Amino acid sequence: MFGLTANCTSYVFHHISKSSFFFLYDSSKVQEEGDLTRDGIYYFSPEDTPIDQQELLCGQLAGVCRCVSELSSSPVRLLHLRKSKYAVRMKDKFLWALSCVVDIPDVSVCDLLDQLIALFCFYNGPVRQSYQLYSKEELALRWARYLCHLQGGSTELHHIFSCLRTIDSTHIDPLLLLKAALILQACQRCPLVLAGCILYRGRVVSTQMPPALTVKVMVYETQTYSQVQSSSCNGLNSDQDIQSEEIKALANGYEQSNCLDNHSDLDNQIKSEENKLDANNHVTNKNGNGETEEEAKTKSKQINRKLKEKNEPTNTPSPHETLADTSLVPLVLYQHRVKGLVLALLVEPEFITDHSAREEVHHSSLASLNGLEAHLRNTSPGTPGLPGPYTFAHYDCIQNTLTTNVCGRSVGPQDQAFVKATKLVHSHFSRLDTLQEAIVRNASSAVYGTRTTAQETYFLQQGTPVRNSGSPDPQDSAFSLPRKARLRLLKHGVNLL
């Protein structure tokens, strides 16, 4: 990752520095003196940005990135400006850039950009090939959809860790989660079904897919639910996936792959299998009961079975770096909706034309899905609101999920301090592999953070510390946080021992 402070050019971004921008720029379209910068802009968000500002931003950033990459003999990954920063990816004359405010962890914004590129390639194939097959206007709608999916609908903590959006299981009967898992198992009795997941109101109830594949499958369902709820998808609130390494295991007989990669190994580990699938989508209505089935055609790369016996190298290329080098195999994403509940299945293409297979899956799951939807709809979300004696966030690096008691209530000063400290410590964890524990404090609070290869946990004890000034000493109350965290988080299923 390469950082750059560009004070001398910050005037270029003075009037737009508070916005969040994403663009795809093709420098091969701007080679001669008379070539217009706008010819190289394939996509720019927000789309209502005046074209002269688009040209100014794209031209300046492209020039800076090219200059720095040539001087350093390495691609630019991150540009730090005075009031904002840009995650950057450069490949084959293409430049992707995503901006955010400076207080967002570097790893989070870089992770979001990698997810966005991988998501586009997943559904559309190699970028250059996509723009040969489809119009800029059509692909602009897809970029907007993917950007909305990754940025919207989650809390600031979810954006920090780029994690899956899951239902809050605190007030849900565990038997309902078991029922969801059994529904997926029943669907897999059909040999044409590879794996599936169940979503409720845009959040994961149960999944057989690896986290990176699940987040891709959620794109259209999350957007559908968000539109119903009239949620806003503008801007980068704070940002997660993590990555599709497990797709290889899915295609090779559902073998368990190694996913203990640290979240900070962003550019080395996360992208080796993101390029395995590619899809186009369409929606069809299959019955007169008000139920819909969405079929998104996907394409999966042929998997080299020898790879399952080897670990991916640390310099694994990005999805957009290798996607064009291998052939693609078609798969299909089959979705069945029961009101707010969606069953999504990754199936072989023959499934769509095999009437008996479709009927088998439909009838084996219909009654159970109706019952599950009714129970989830009638489940009380509980009373959000009142902060307890402590605040915590537990990130599972394996499942890419977040457990926290911050969600569902208005964020107060203590929660704001907790989120800010979590950003800081998570950023340090991502850069320092040897750092395992940290305590961050100010005059009114202290936050304890700890991490292993499988998890990260953050804990704040509400209330002013008894002793919190001067040089640290054994009687400083901040040093009791690790013990309190271990005891209090056990009831949440978090074991820090």
Q: What is the pTM of this model?
A: 0.73
Among 86, 402, 119, smallest CA distance to 243 is for: 119
Q: Distance between CA atoms of 423 and 228, rounded to whole angstroms? A: 31
Structure tokens, 497: 């021992």
Is the Cα torsion angle 158, 164, 165, 171 positive or negative in sign? negative
- 127: helix, strand or coil: helix
Q: In what order do the strands lie in the sheet with 446-451?
A: 401-404, 390-396, 455-461, 446-451, 437-441
Was domain 1-102 assigned CATH 3.30.450.70?
Answer: yes
Full pLDDT tens readout for the chain, 497 residues = 334 333 333 433 443 444 589 999 999 898 888 888 999 999 999 999 999 999 999 998 999 999 998 898 888 899 988 888 999 999 888 999 999 888 888 999 999 999 999 999 888 888 999 999 999 999 999 999 999 888 876 788 888 998 888 888 777 888 999 999 999 999 999 999 999 999 998 889 999 999 988 988 888 765 555 544 443 333 222 222 222 333 333 444 433 333 323 333 323 332 333 333 333 333 333 333 334 334 433 433 333 333 333 334 334 344 444 444 445 667 788 888 888 899 999 888 889 889 999 888 888 888 889 899 999 888 766 555 556 788 999 999 999 999 888 865 556 667 888 999 999 999 999 999 999 999 988 877 889 999 999 999 999 987 655 565 556 666 677 788 899 999 999 988 888 87
Do 1-102 and 390-492 have matching folds?
yes
Domain edges within the chain: 1-102, 169-378, 390-492
Could you please report the per-residue DSSP string of 26-93?
A: EGGG--STT--GGGGEEEEESTTS-HHHHHHHHHHHHHHHHHHHHHHTS---EEE-SSEEEEEEEETT
Tokens of 215: 């987040």
How does DSSP assign 385-445, residue by residue?
Answer: ----SEEEEEEETTTTEEEESSTTS---HHHHHHHHHHHHHHHHHHH-TT--EEEEE-SS-
Topology of domain 390-492 in CATH is Beta-Lactamase (3.30.450)
246 and 217 Cβ atoms separated by less than 8 Å: no
